[in-house]
Chain A
Amino acid sequence: MATQPTALTPDRPKLEHAYRFLSALPDTEALLRAILEEALEVVRATRGTIALMDYRTGELVVRVAVGAGWTDGQSAPRWRVTDEPGGSISGYVALTGQPYLCGDVTKDPHYYPLFPDTRSELAVPLIGRGNKVLGVLNVESEKLNAFTEQDARILTALASVASFALSSADYHNRERALIELGKDLAAATEIETLLERVAEVAAQILDADDCSLFLLDKSLNRLVLRASKGLLRQFVGQASYRLGEGLTGWVALHGKPIRTDGVVGDPRWKGLYTELLPEEISAFMAVPIRGRNGVLGVLRVVRKRSSPLAPHYLFTEEDEELLAMLASQVGAALERAELQERLFTMEHIAAVGELSARIAHMIGNKIFALKGALKEVLLRLQSVPLPEGVQTIFNGMERSLFEVEMLLQELRDFVKATQLNLQPLCLSDLVRELVQEAAQRLPHLQFELHLDEQPVWVRGDPEKLRSVVEELLENASHFLKDGDTITLHLSLHQWFSGRKVARLVVQDSGPGIPERMKDQIFQPFFSTRAKGMGLGLAIVKGIVEAHGGTITERGKEGEGAKFIITLPAIEPPKGGTG
């Protein structure tokens, strides 16, 4: 083991040669082969291997083999990572992460015989970021005590070049996938397609077996599955967690990531929806998807165990950073999409409003003139007996004029939906009052009202909020038969961000809204009714959104319509208990 300083000099240029390879970034296989060839030459070894870790199985798999004795087509040897006797020197090095010098294999407990002429061996680990063992570089000789400490140092240097090459190839792949995904996200195509793509890419670059994406549905206050790669795919749109429920709910509630080996045994784990059988899960990782105003959802990945005995294939800190980065891209894309949609609707409404205001003004003037003229005719004919049927014609004319004015009023309500006169008001009282009125106006329907004991207060425009509820009841009544029920629930909810929201659910037992119409019901000028302009629900949406709230329809066709309104709640004013 004596050091021979003279031997170093001719070796140096070869190392530099290896570094040059590296900067040219050829394919990894070729690079590893070049490094191994250099290694053999420098330390005058008979043959050698570079084996890489397969973390799925927990085994070392030979990727390149160089030197005398190897035959083409020979299947790559695999070694377990272990310190058991006869487990292989490479396997032992992978376990310890330390170089290993063996002068006489016949006396070595770890040696695993592959070639009969092998006498001595030298193995060094390939170490990646975070001291993770990526693989083992192993050389052997038919001479006893063929290798020195100095050789070990040289091989360690070469191994670090190999590690660097492997890491950078890995980075390169991840970077490429991220850039591709970034392009997709920026293109802001359909959001569902994007989310599916995110799940796919996340699984791919994190070497995960599955990936699922949950988004917070604010009207339900639940995390709903929006994309998944494997088994859970069939539950997209259905599977959901309460905030704080299970590992996924925990991540959303606390806005913190979870990175763990298996899930069984974790007190937070519920096992409601899993991509794999719980005992199959080798590692689990979930990160929050953040928006400007809090958590928008959760992105989670799982790795599967290749066999019940395989060690856990854990996600690293680096993996977590990567997933968090993906999540932040998703968050930005979601907010951008939402903003775009909102801008579009607002521009749409403003344009419709301005145009309609001009036209309505002109029509209003003409109608006023017509009303006056018709009235004058009627007054002049008062003392004259009218021919048969003429009175009916006059009545029809008056009714038509009335209806035109109703249309004008609808249009005006629509344009004015966003001009609010805000004041603190007790929503509980308002809803109670409106339900009583509706019950009198619509005696053929049943009304059920569920109110929290605590009165719910909001800052709102009493007239406008009144018309919101009236319109929803009115709208429902058009689709209901005698004896059908309209149920209203008003309750106070606290979001994890601490914000309180009033939640009003208006549900009926009618036919419900067909799936294909759901996207359109809030659009201006959409109507299935003969009367009116189809501005009713557009006005409702305009008013609710102008209050900083949301409205969605969550009913199922055949089971009735279900409108959910949320409005920012306020504390009841002092002295007013509602």
Chain B
Amino acid sequence: MGRILVVDDEELAREAIRMRLERDGHEVDTAASEAEAIEKIRTANPPYDVVVTDMVMETEKSGMEVLKAALLRDVLTEVIVLTAYGSVANAVECLKRGAFDYVEKNIPGVDVYDLLALKVERAMEHRAESLALIKRWHAYQQQPLVTPEEAVTD
């Protein structure tokens, strides 16, 4: 299963997400702020598979900073942004900049923890597909090159 970083400044929320994802068999690390998250992402080795981050922490755009750091460390890391009331616009901005998805924290009548777990699952799949694609690309590049001229004169 995946290596996941959960970033939220609300301790109870952070822990609840950690426990929920561990239940699915993921290895979960947590960070309580944008700064802590960026530090952990930089030093992580291997990089995290998925980063789940709250949008609004130190600033309105903390989630965006976390996203940037994650993609800088590993362009294939999948980022899921959590948004509470009023920060959907920023989350959409994150999608444009390469986030995998976002989850609204307060949808009445919806179990958002299950929803989040599902999206993490999907993100893992997506990452696996991307990795597979890159492997194929590498394999293709390592084959001896046959130029068209050689093919014709052969």
Contacts and interface: CB of A to CB of B under 8 A. Distances in A.
Contacts of A411: 85
Nearest to A405: B108
A365 B10 contact: yes
Interface stretch (A125-133, A372-380, A426-434, A523-531): A372-380
A369 B112 CA distance: 11
B84 A375 contact: no
A367 interface: yes
Contacts of A366: 10
A379 B16 CA distance: 11
A403 to B, nearest CB: 8
Interface in A353-368: 357, 360-361, 363-368
B1 interface: no
Interface string A379-415: 1000000000000000000000010011011011000
Interface string B1-33: 000000000111101110110010000000000
Interface residues of B, number: 25
| A-B complex: 6 closest residue pairs judged by Cβ atoms | A372-B16, A369-B13, A369-B12, A368-B105, A364-B84, A405-B108
B70 interface: no
B129 to A, nearest CB: 29
Given A405-B107, A409-B106, 7 more contacts: A365-B84, A372-B17, A372-B19, A372-B20, A373-B12, A402-B109, A412-B86
A371 B13 CA distance: 8
Given A367-B106, A375-B113, A405-B106, A361 B12 contact: no
Interface residues of A, number: 24
The main secondary structure of chain A at its interface with chain B is helix
Contacts of A372: 12-13, 15-17, 19-20, 113
Contact of B86 (A357, A367, A369, A379): A357
Nearest to B82: A368
B86 A402 contact: no
25 contacts: A357-B85, A357-B86, A360-B85, A361-B84, A364-B85, A364-B106, A365-B84, A365-B105, A366-B10, A367-B105, A368-B82, A368-B84, A369-B11, A369-B13, A369-B16, A371-B112, A372-B15, A372-B113, A375-B16, A375-B20, A376-B19, A379-B23, A405-B106, A409-B106, A409-B108
Nearest to B14: A369
B12 A408 contact: no
Contacts of B87: 361
A366 to B, nearest CB: 7
B56 interface: yes
Contacts of A360: 85-86
B7 to A, nearest CB: 13
B111 interface: yes
A25 interface: no
A186 interface: no
Q: Which of B15, B106, B112 has the most CB of A within 10 A?
A: B106
A312 B109 CA distance: 77
A357 B17 CA distance: 24
B37 to A, nearest CB: 17
A406 B84 contact: no
Nearest to A360: B85
Contacts of B109: 402, 405
A7 interface: no
Interface string B47-62: 0000000101000000
Contacts of B106: 364, 367-368, 405, 408-409
A370 interface: yes
A361 B86 contact: yes
A406 B108 contact: yes
A371 B15 CA distance: 12
A66 to B, nearest CB: 87
A365 B23 contact: no
B34 to A, nearest CB: 15
